[in-house]
Structure 1
């Protein structure tokens, strides 16, 4: 499920005003963090995740691992923030960041 350039642009526009819903801190990437990201993706479809740490390569590896573990697509990475997208099985119009914007 690869996103086209136009789809990424649309997701970046929607995600611009979002705040991070998951912060990856000192304990690193744990099963609990992945479960939380997975749950937030199911609720909101488009989320921002803040990945801490000063090592850029480690941050990028963590973001890639999150995307693989949650079966999501990375729409954008800016510094320590990653914008992740995964279509919900049953989108909730009250929670979905995509449906709230388009309605």
Structure 2
């Protein structure tokens, strides 16, 4: 499980504020299919919200810890029935940055008239 500094956690909370939940955990709990979907979403977005349908706070905390431990993610926020999880994109998956083109040189043009 990744650990975040308070500053990193605050920045991620701010980024997550406008996000909608992309995965839901229903009464069936944290199945293998749900774990695969969370993994896919983390690969695509890095920062996701997960909605848990259920009234047991202990179950939500257990799901939160299990997701972070098994998927190598960092817990960002657990508020009500929403879990916010972050996992950085692996370096090999990042698109290589394009080299910047040099700005065209400005030359003085003489006025011929």
TM-score (norm 2): 0.78
**CA distance in structure 2 between the partners assigned to 1:19 and 1:91 by the alignment:** 24
Alignment gaps of 5+ in structure 1:
93-103
**CA distance in structure 2 between the partners assigned to 1:23 and 1:91 by the alignment:** 27
Aligned length: 92
Deviation per CA, 1:6-61: give whole Å up to 9, x if none: 00000000000000000001211111100000010010000000112111111111
**CA distance in structure 2 between the partners assigned to 1:43 and 1:56 by the alignment:** 28
Q: Which runs of 4+ in 1 moved over 6 A?
A: none
Q: Are residues 1:52 and 2:41 paired?
A: no
In the other structure, the counterpart of 2:31 is 30
1:43/1:91 contact within 8 Å kept: no
Give the Å deviation of 1:91. Answer: 4.0
Question: For the pair shown, which has the larger CA radius of gyration, 1 or 2?
Answer: 2
1:45/1:85 contact within 8 Å kept: yes
Which structure shows the bigger proportion of residues in helix conformation?
1
Give the Å deviation of 1:88. Answer: 1.0
In the other structure, the counterpart of 1:3 is 4
Alignment gaps of 5+ in structure 2:
96-113
Q: 1:79 to 1:91 in 2, by over 3 A?
A: farther
In the other structure, the counterpart of 1:97 is none
TM-score (norm 1): 0.85
